[in-house]
Homo-oligomer: A and B are copies of this chain.
Amino acid sequence: MIILLVGMPGSGKGEVAKAFRRRGIPVISMGDAIREEAEKRGIPKTPEGLKYVSLKVREELGPGAVAILTIPKVRGIIKRKGIVVIEGVRSPAEVQEFRREFKNERVIILAIHSPPKVRFERLRRRGRSDDPKTWNEFLDRDKKELGFGIGEVMSLADYVILNNCTFNEFQRKIEKVVSKILSNWP
């Protein structure tokens, strides 16, 4: 089973990934594929370098490029474990690559939804170097993500967790949905 984890910036994907890891389920990140590709090509892993690599691979392999780069690792984990969570899926083209490559696996989409105002407050508090400081910076980043087609992927999710509540309530919702998904496996 392949679980594609999708959500806008600040929606709480990280907490969901942790819940799977706690149960011994491997989680891999689409972002890592870009970092490894930069390494391979000898391009510095600065924000600019990574941006260059992600544009370059899309030019070379099409809109599903990052999924294509991730496939060998996914194949290995599926062979050993039979299950994997993939974090950071962004476009319908990526979903299609996974569905095409893993025809005999169940591929499900798990979306995390959080209202824009809640995500903004969370990102502002988090304060990673690339996190937005103002509402306009936040809208710009959202727009960039939506440009990849993340909205389409979310609208077609098989499971949705609403992160519009306290941290503890969110954790309870995560446990409930993760249990439900795993109850169908193997």
Contact = CB atoms under 8 A, between A and B. Distances in A.
A159 B159 CA distance: 16
Contact of A113 (B117, B142, B160): B160
Interface residues on A, range: 20 to 34
A158 interface: yes
Contacts of A8: 155
Interface string A129-171: 0000000000000100010011111111111101010000000
A115 interface: yes
A152 B160 contact: no
A156 B8 CA distance: 9
B155 A151 contact: yes
B156 A154 contact: no
Given A146-B152, A151-B152, A152-B151, A158 B113 contact: no
A115 B153 CA distance: 12
A88 to B, nearest CB: 15
A151 B146 CA distance: 9
B117 A157 contact: no
Contacts of A157: 113, 115
Interface string A108-121: 00000101110000
